[in-house]
Amino acid sequence: MAEGLISAGEVRFFSGSSNPQLAGKIASHLGVPLDGTHITRFSNDNMYIQLGATVRYRRVYIVQSLSQPVNDHLMELLMMIDIARGAAASEVHAIIPYYSFGRSDKKDSPRISITARLVADLLKTAGATHVMSMMFHSPQVHGFFGIPTDPLSSRMVFKDYLSKLDLDGSIIVAPDMGQAKSAARFAKTLGLPVAAGNKERISDSEVIISGLVGNQVRGHKRALIYDDEIATGGSIWELSRVLVAEGVEDIRVVCTHGVFSRGGLERLAAVPEITEIITTDTTPFPPEKCHPRLTVLSVAPIIGDAIWKNYNRLSIGSLFSYGSDEEDELI
């Protein structure tokens, strides 16, 4: 990234409290300062936020992952957007590396909310003029937004890392058919075959994988499990059991959003065949959340490049998370 191509006087770059480390990396990549944000609470628990620099007639970028505590971080983001709009910002860009509400993307039970769409509407109402996120849970989430929205891909981050490793005899495996297309695109970038699990979800943390679809896994000693998000690790644990039964001896897990709630990281690390768990910094990783088998790659360069292209009114299509139909074949 060439310096001086973004005017520090024309933009303001802020971070909520969810992932200031990533926000700092993005700002550094762009060569702009990370402006301060004062966040506290009144005695009645209402949130109080003040942006630490003037935003009048400036382009404002607000970085906030919707990680735990999700509802607090969402409220922070909405308030910061509203503050920027009310203070006469010319543009308000919501940079949401992890859009956790994307999992609530359909009505699969009676009397439930399609929360991915609801939150998209809230962002627009608050005053966001543009949204940027990393690897939505499903393609339809993109269509829920009534303002320009850029869904970015983390595939190149993983490709750059994995291409330095010995992948001989490996196969890419998606945990379910919902992730099969994304896994197929990823497999194509690495020149590897792809398969997917036949998954039935029992509850939020319990699944059953009855078999595999696509290329024959038996005969492959190595597998790369590819998913967009891991929370409790139930799907990956169950898929690992199936892969080991098929003769796989070495498993690497690759996911964009490493939430690892309810002991999910420890659950996967306890599987002897899982030698590495590779994720990104779309969610924060405090020291107590790290593990010797965990590798965290940064998406700051991808998000920074996308912001730079947006600032300079250039296309960012090459950074999008969706590919052509010819990449979607599972065989």
Catalytic positions are: 199
CA dist 7 to 39, 53, 92, 204, 312, Å? 26, 15, 16, 46, 11
Amino acid, res. 64: Q
Look up residue 225 and give its amino acid. I
Distance between start and end Cα atoms, the chain:
38
Q: For residues 288 and 263, give the distance between their C-alpha atoms in angstroms, rounded to a whole number.
A: 12
Tokens of 182: 């994304």
Cα pseudo-dihedral 137, 138, 143, 145, rounded to 10: -10
C-alpha 113/C-alpha 212 separation (Å) is: 32
Q: CA angle, corner 123, sides to 118 and 129, nearest 5?
A: 140
User: Cβ(16)–Cβ(73) under 8 Å?
Assistant: yes
* 209 neighbors 157 (Cβ within 8 angstroms): no
For residue 148, what are the CA distances in angstroms to 51, 243, 284?
24, 41, 26
Instruction: Map 201-235 to HEC letters.
Output: ECCCCCEEEEEEEECCCCCCCEEEEEEEEECCCHH
Q: Which two tokens stand for residue 166?
A: 């010995």
Residue 126: name the closest of 77, 90, 56 by CA.
77
